[in-house]
Each structure stands twice: as structure tokens, then as C-alpha cells.
């Protein structure tokens, strides 16, 4: 099931995305929220009539650095012995179609296409064989990074946590095998990144086990699983799109801070 979060006439709701033709998709509005038992209302609205929102509003986004060997190498880094873990605040999250605002303190903004894991239930110290039980589904993410700030400040809070630095969307796919999916990033229609989730150094199971050894994950929390090689610059006016096989496409335009 594809679950979208959207607004219409000033109201926010979740809906199940139905249809295969991109121009004819409809939303069957969900009674309740997708983190508990829910029913489809049978009330349907055309996707073209609503505004897509970030599919979740996470309490926290837990991101993983250098989880693809070729990406680590392209920036002159080694694959770490243990996962590099960092946070992006909830205020960094925007949805598909929302702008990425170029931060005033950076001169080198980069795209990073990633598979995002959406947590479906509160969990801590998750054993490997129970990881699937705590995952609601998967969505597309762009770990937008102020690369010059990251390199200059030697820690990543500002470089990766500024407002609009975490586009998520367009929706959550709940029925998906994430082990070998194509990930692509284009900028103004030109391909920049192309990889597969099978190239991850550490699997989703590895990451969930590692993260929940230290902290409780809440329903709606998001894990970013790392980016394949090919990261590169974004400029004001660029349209950046992240497409993941079996999910869809997350599209955002880069704008100047007003």
C-alpha cells in the first residue's frame, strides 16, 4: 500500500494512493492514522486536487553516513568500522514539491539521494529477526548537505540540519523488499546518481539494530540509509528529483532564501 499525507481545504489527512497512471491517481482517505489499525473510508479524491505533505512528521531523523563504499571514496573517506550516525531535526523535513532553500551560510550545496525507512511502532533494542515488525514502510529522501560547511566545521549539525535539508516523499510504500532497489538522482533532468540498495555496506537490519541499541524510535521516526556515489552541486533554480524503484519520485526545486 502507498500511504500519502496531504492537505485539502485546510484539512490534513492520510490516504491510500490508488491507480497506476500517474495522471489518474486517487486517494482513498484513511480513517485514523497509519501507525495503528485503520480503515479506508471509501471517500476518494484525485491526487491532483490535493497538496502532498511530507509523508510523516518525524520526532527525529536518524541518518547514516558513508554507507556506500563508492560514495565514501569519492569524498576521500574510508568506510567506517561502525556506522556514522547523525541527526536531522524535524524542522529540516519538507515534502515533494516543496522548495529547498539555499542556506545563506553555504556556497556549496549537494544532493544525496537515499532510501528512507519509516518506523511504524515504538521500539528499542530490536533483535535482528524482529526488524521487519517495527517498519511501516519506505520512502524517498534527499539528504541535502552544505558540503563546504560540513568540511569546515568537522561536524554535521548545521551542514545537514538546516531548514528544508530533508525532503521526504512522495509517499510511504508499505509492501516492498528494500534489499535491491535502484536509486537515481537527476538534476534538471540529467542523471547524477545511480546505485542500488544492495550496495549498502550495512543492511537495514544492521542499522535498526545498531540505532535501537542506543535510543528508542517512535512511530513516524525516519532512518536515512546513506547515499550512493555521484553526489554533486545544486544551484538556485535547479530541480532535483530522487527516484527509487518501487516507490516513486521525490521532486524539489532549489530557491534563494527570501
Count: domains in the chain = 2
Percent of the chain with pLDDT over 70: 100
Interval 175-197: pLDDT, tens: 999 999 999 999 999 999 999 99
Does residue 107 sit in the same domain as residue 20?
no
Does residue 138 sit in the same domain as residue 70?
yes
Does residue 14 sit in the same domain as residue 107?
no
Confidence of residue 124 (pLDDT cuts 50, 70, 90): very high
As a whole number of angstroms, the distance between CA 145 and CA 157 comes to: 10
Does residue 143 sit in the same domain as residue 186?
yes
Provide the pLDDT for residue 154: 86
In order of 39, 46, 93, 171, 195, the CA distances from 199 in angstroms are 37, 37, 26, 24, 7
| pLDDT reading at 220 higher than 90 | yes
Does residue 73 sit in the same domain as residue 181?
yes
Interval 69-93: pLDDT, tens: 888 788 888 888 999 999 999 999 9
Does residue 252 sit in the same domain as residue 214?
yes
Does residue 32 sit in the same domain as residue 83?
no
Query: Which set of grid coordinates corresponds to residue 44?
Result: 476518494
Selected residue with higher pLDDT from 5 and 10: 5
Does residue 139 sit in the same domain as residue 71?
yes
Does residue 133 sit in the same domain as residue 186?
yes
Does residue 46 sit in the same domain as residue 95?
no
Q: What is the pLDDT of the chain when averaged over all its residues? A: 96
Confidence of residue 136 (pLDDT cuts 50, 70, 90): very high
* pTM above threshold 0.95: yes
As a whole number of angstroms, the distance between CA 82 and CA 141 comes to: 22
For residue 6, the domain's CATH number is: 2.30.30.370
Does residue 13 sit in the same domain as residue 86?
no
Does residue 21 sit in the same domain as residue 107?
no
- Residues spanned by the domain of 18: 2-52
For residue 88, the domain's CATH number is: 3.90.850.10
Query: Which set of grid coordinates corresponds to residue 200?
Result: 549498502
Percent of the chain with pLDDT over 90: 91
Amino acid at each position: 500500500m502507498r500511504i500519502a499525507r496531504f492537505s485539502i481545504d485546510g484539512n490534513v489527512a492520510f490516504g491510500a494512493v490508488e491507480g497506476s497512471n500517474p495522471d489518474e491517481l486517487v486517494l482513498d482517505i484513511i480513517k485514523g492514522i497509519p501507525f495503528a489499525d485503520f480503515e479506508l473510508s471509501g471517500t476518494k479524491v484525485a491526487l491532483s486536487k490535493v497538496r502532498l505533505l511530507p509523508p510523516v512528521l518525524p520526532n527525529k531523523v536518524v541518518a547514516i553516513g558513508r554507507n556506500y563504499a563508492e560514495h565514501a571514496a569519492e569524498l576521500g573517506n574510508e568506510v567506517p568500522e561502525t556506522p556514522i550516525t547523525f541527526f536531522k531535526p524535524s524542522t529540516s523535513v519538507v515534502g515533494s514539491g516543496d522548495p529547498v532553500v539555499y542556506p545563506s551560510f553555504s556556497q556549496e550545496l549537494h544532493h544525496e539521494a537515499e532510501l528512507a525507512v519509516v518506523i511504524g511502532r515504538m521500539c528499542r533494542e530490536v533483535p535482528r529477526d524482529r526488524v521487519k515488525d517495527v517498519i511501516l514502510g519506505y520512502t524517498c529522501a534527499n539528504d541535502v548537505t552544505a558540503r563546504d560547511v560540513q568540511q569546515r566545521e568537522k561536524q554535521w549539525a548545521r551542514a545537514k540540519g538546516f531548514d528544508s535539508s530533508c525532503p521526504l516523499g512522495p509517499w510511504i510504500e508499505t509492501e516492498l523488499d528494500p534489499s535491491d532497489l535502484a536509486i537515481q538522482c537527476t538534476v534538471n533532468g540529467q542523471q547524477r546518481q545511480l546505485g542500488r540498495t544492495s550496495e549498502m555496506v550495512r543492511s537495514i537490519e544492521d542499522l535498526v539494530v545498531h540505532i535501537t541499541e542506543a535510543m528508542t524510535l517512535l512511530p513516524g521516526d525516519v532512518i536515512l540509509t546513506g547515499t550512493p556515489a555521484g553526489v554533486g552541486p545544486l544551484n538556485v533554480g535547479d530541480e532535483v528529483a530522487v527516484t527509487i524503484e518501487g516507490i516513486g519520485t521525490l521532486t524539489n526545486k532549489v530557491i534563494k532564501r527570501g
